[in-house]
Amino acid sequence: MAAKVAAYTAAYQGLEELYVTPNLVSMAKVWSGAPYHEAVFPYNVALAYVPLGIGWIYRLFLAPLSGPDLKDFQLEFLIKSVNLLFALASVILIYVILRRLMVDEKASFIASLAFLANPALWFSVSVWGQSHVISAFLMLVAIWSTIRRNPKWAWIALGVASLTRPQMLVPCAIWALVLFRRFASRENLRGISTAIIAAFLLTAPLALLGLSPSTPVDILANQFYVQEGGGNEPELTTVSLDAHSVWTLVSRLAGGATGISRFLYPSYAPLIGELSYQRVSLILVIAVLLGAAALLFVKRRSVDFTFDLLVLAVGTVGFMLTKTGLAGTHFLLALPLIILTRPSSRGVEFFLVVGLWSVTTFASMYSGFGYGVSSVPELAPLLHPSRNTLTHIIMNLQDTDWFITVMSTLNLIVFAWLLRNTLLARRLSQPI
């Protein structure tokens, strides 16, 4: 519903209204009559053009003669179709990147299929209609451009990706370190300058239409203030939305929480002295970034891009597991990066790790979706827990301690496996 409101607002009221009008639109129907959350557009300027394009296509070709209707299935179908196109493009990029890394054709095809046929991707794109695959696509473009030794396009893709959602800042920062290490200072300076121009061109229409030229920075600053600086209601800042991170284990051991309360445990609660879960989380995220920088720059340098991709994957997964307040949908961002580590692993281990991350991500998304529609059966009649056995089972599992512990532990195993492969690859790399 929020995506429909965004598309309607951008196309019918103007791009500048995307960050204003949805804040006043009630989604009480979605929340069974309760004014729980408005249809706010929470993304940065790079994603603002997606609902604008979708809205204009709908307005010109699909809207009924009587006028736009947010209940129209055609608008929903169009939103999910755009996400599907980015998913298919991501599959192609995964394949060509693996081929460029000297992975044979059959192995590259199967690894790409692990993304295309992934239930977590299906659910995100085709059922929920989330846009995380667009951010992942831009990250893959940056990686592909780097491997092709085209720093200009690598920096442009990286800059645009960082202006999609705040969860992309850490993987973008890690790959920026790779660019600094891989290319000469002059090449990086040109690439950064071009990326700044691209960011300006994305922001200029918003500035000309009445918003501030500092809109991207304002959005990031507000997101940080709300999510990390205590600007949100304390009851709404939790250690996890529905993702199986390290905090669902800590809230059980340190806070004594059980069941679904392990996700909803308040992140402002003290954990170590006066340090809250949220502050400890920020310290760990900084440690992940510093660790990635140390792997890339201290003493050794890899002979190919496999090591760089391992650092990117382990850093992104480490960030996902240590950051409070994330949802299972955010974990999808790490999936293509894990798949790109295929050259560093044997087949059985690789598919086991990809399978583990896919299962935990799918379970998180599916249970969150189930709880979201449980009070309003007509929103998703075929997937409602009262009519769908799988939805009912996963929701019940998500409320059991053993299942939460197992899922969170499996994600930690994925991180440990990636870290082991990264350290092994570093040990085998050539000294500077």
The lowest-confidence range among 243-247, 364-368, 378-382 is 378-382
Residue 429 has pLDDT above 70, yes or no: no
What's the pLDDT at 33? Answer: 72
Pair of tokens at residue 259: 């069941």
The tens digit of pLDDT for each residue in 212-223 reads 778 888 888 887
The tens digit of pLDDT for each residue in 114-171 reads 999 999 999 999 888 899 999 999 999 999 999 999 999 999 999 999 999 999 999 9
Domain segments of the chain as ranges: 72-431
What's the pLDDT at 62? Answer: 85
